């Protein structure tokens, strides 16, 4: 009988003990805001999201309290005091891990916020055939050395982090390192110790924040971080109620029942925005048991969701609303609905779509008992 597979223990080290002199920010760059949160939080969240634990964050000991604030709420994080040079910070974290050694370790610059699970998986996969693996990208510009001329690009790579290693090998390599004083990266330490380092495909989004201008997210970074949420809601059609859809009062023989004005379209859209920003759901923020929302106009719910998304660093990209009913006909109101939603969201009308469909007289909406709405929202990071 074969023995059960032993799960691989994988740790991450996030290096955040540098001074960030070249970035010249008022605080070391890893604490500076980037896409709505401290720069270092992006990488730590990415490791946590990929299920990596423990995550050791090397930071200056006088900045531990600030680091705890910057990383509040993320599970499995331990702070370690970094050293004077990058490799001193790596060594301190490796030594801390040694007493309960992981099988593999990923060593990453906090200054590279665009880390994805895909890159992490490529690196881990490569460690099945080599003791080390690093993400690289091709050099696309001409290279020129003064007094020498153009340098051939063949065989050259741009090297990124995380750099991944089998733990015992990289710990031994760092312990053996005798110079030159500063290693370029951990791959250099590994190669000096005779370890093979495999190359895997890197990611443009992983570029390092080095200079002041790099703290402004590039179009590439912005484009790779949109987020999407969906919402769905149903309300019953009853006699004696006003009918509100997408913030517009509609002439109809019946209206929707509910605690607020029962605008089922704005409710679904509110949930879509909250979902995109991972800020909970409409029931959590506006419970139907709360008398404050009795008869409330639902545009307040949507505006609140937009404010919560902004607080998390996201602005509305575009939204799409599908109203599911046999009657009333939505076409005559569509332009007004789009304009009203655009107004509440404070976006261009081109970013708002309102559609309608029937269920071919099937089900509750087909029998005219109620109206259902599904909505989706895309949010994009707010550029500081």
Ligand X SMILES: C[C@](O)(CO)[C@H](O)COP(=O)(O)O
Annotated binding-site residue numbers for a divalent metal cation: 233, 235, 267
Q: Nearest distance from residue 182's CB to ligand X, in Å? A: 8
Contacting range for ligand X; rule: CB under 6 A; set: 117-125, 157-165, 243-251, 258-266? 157-165
Q: Which residues are annotated as a binding site?
A: 233-235, 259-260, 267, 281-283, 357-360, 364, 367
Contacting range for ligand X; rule: CB under 6 A; set: 154-162, 166-174, 247-255, 311-319? 154-162
Q: Nearest distance from residue 88's CB to ligand CTP, in Å? A: 6
Distance, in Å, from the CA atom of 158 to the CA atom of 307, rounded to the nearest integer, reads: 40
Residue whose token pair is 């015992």: 168
Binding letters toward ligand X, positions 160-179, x by CB under 6 A: xx------------------
Q: Nearest distance from residue 125's CB to ligand CTP, in Å? A: 25
For ligand X, the closer of residues 47 and 286 by Cβ is 47
Q: Nearest distance from residue 43's CB to ligand CTP, in Å? A: 9
For ligand CTP, the closer of residues 109 and 271 by Cβ is 109
Is the backbone peptide bond immediately before 123 cis, with ω within 30 degrees of 0?
no
Q: Nearest distance from residue 46's CB to ligand CTP, in Å? A: 14
* Among positions 29, 86, 122, 207, the unique one binding ligand X when judged by CB under 6 A: 86
Q: φ and ψ at 236, to 5 degrees?
A: -85, 140
For ligand X, the closer of residues 106 and 356 by Cβ is 106
Distance, in Å, from the CA atom of 149 to the CA atom of 198, rounded to the nearest integer, reads: 30
Q: Which does 241 bind (CB under 5 to 8 A by kind): ligand CTP, ligand X, none?
A: none
For ligand X, the closer of residues 163 and 365 by Cβ is 163
Q: Which does 184 bind (CB under 5 to 8 A by kind): ligand CTP, ligand X, none?
A: ligand X
For ligand X, the closer of residues 80 and 352 by Cβ is 80
* Among positions 9, 37, 208, 259, the unique one binding ligand X when judged by CB under 6 A: 208
For ligand X, the closer of residues 109 and 214 by Cβ is 109
Q: Find the distance separating the first CA and the last CA of the chain, reported in whole Å.
A: 59
For ligand CTP, the closer of residues 76 and 83 by Cβ is 83
* Minimal CB distance residue for ligand X: 185
* Among positions 185, 214, 263, 299, the unique one binding ligand X when judged by CB under 6 A: 185
Q: Nearest distance from residue 314's CB to ligand X, in Å? A: 28
Q: Nearest distance from residue 74's CB to ligand CTP, in Å? A: 17
Residues that bind ligand X (CB under 6 A): 86, 109, 159-161, 184-185, 208, 210
């Amino acid at each position: 009988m074969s023995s059960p597979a032993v799960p691989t223990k994988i740790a991450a080290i996030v290096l955040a003990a540098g001074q960030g002199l070249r970035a010249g920010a008022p605080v070391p760059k890893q604490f500076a805001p980037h896409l709505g949160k401290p720069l270092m939080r992006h990488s730590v969240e990415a490791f946590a999201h990929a299920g990596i634990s423990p995550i050791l964050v090397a930071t200056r000991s006088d900045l531990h309290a600030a680091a705890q604030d910057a990383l509040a709420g993320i599970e499995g994080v331990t702070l370690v005091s970094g050293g004077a040079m990058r490799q001193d910070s790596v060594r301190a974290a490796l030594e801390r891990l040694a007493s309960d050694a992981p099988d593999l370790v990923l060593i990453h610059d906090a200054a590279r916020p665009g880390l994805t699970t895909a890159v992490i998986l490529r690196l881990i996969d490569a460690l099945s055939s080599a003791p080390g693996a690093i993400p690289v990208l091709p050099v696309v510009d001409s290279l020129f050395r003064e007094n020498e001329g153009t340098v051939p690009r063949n065989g050259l790579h741009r090297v990124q982090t995380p750099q991944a290693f089998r733990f015992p090998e990289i710990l031994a390599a760092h312990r053996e390192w005798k110079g030159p004083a500063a290693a370029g990266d951990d791959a250099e330490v590994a190669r000096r110790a005779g370890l093979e380092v495999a190359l895997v495909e890197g990611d443009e989004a992983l570029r390092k924040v080095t200079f002041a201008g790099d703290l402004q997210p590039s179009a590439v970074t912005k484009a790779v971080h949109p987020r999407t949420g969906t919402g769905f809601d149903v309300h019953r059609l009853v006699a004696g109620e006003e009918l509100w859809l997408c913030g517009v009062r509609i002439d109809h023989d019946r209206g929707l029942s509910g605690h607020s004005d029962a605008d089922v379209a704005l409710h679904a859209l509110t949930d879509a925005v909250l979902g995109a920003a991972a800020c909970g759901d409409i029931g959590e923020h506006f419970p139907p048991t709360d008398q404050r929302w009795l008869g409330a106009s639902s545009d307040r719910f949507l505006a609140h969701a937009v404010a919560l998304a902004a607080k998390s660093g996201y602005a509305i990209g575009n939204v799409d609303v599908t109203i599911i009913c046999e009657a009333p006909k939505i076409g005559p109101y569509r332009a007004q609905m789009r304009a009203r939603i655009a107004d509440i969201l404070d976006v261009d009308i081109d970013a708002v779509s309102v559609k309608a469909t029937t269920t071919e007289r099937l089900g509750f909406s087909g029998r005219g008992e109620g109206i259902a709405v599904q909505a989706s929202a895309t949010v994009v990071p707010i550029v500081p």
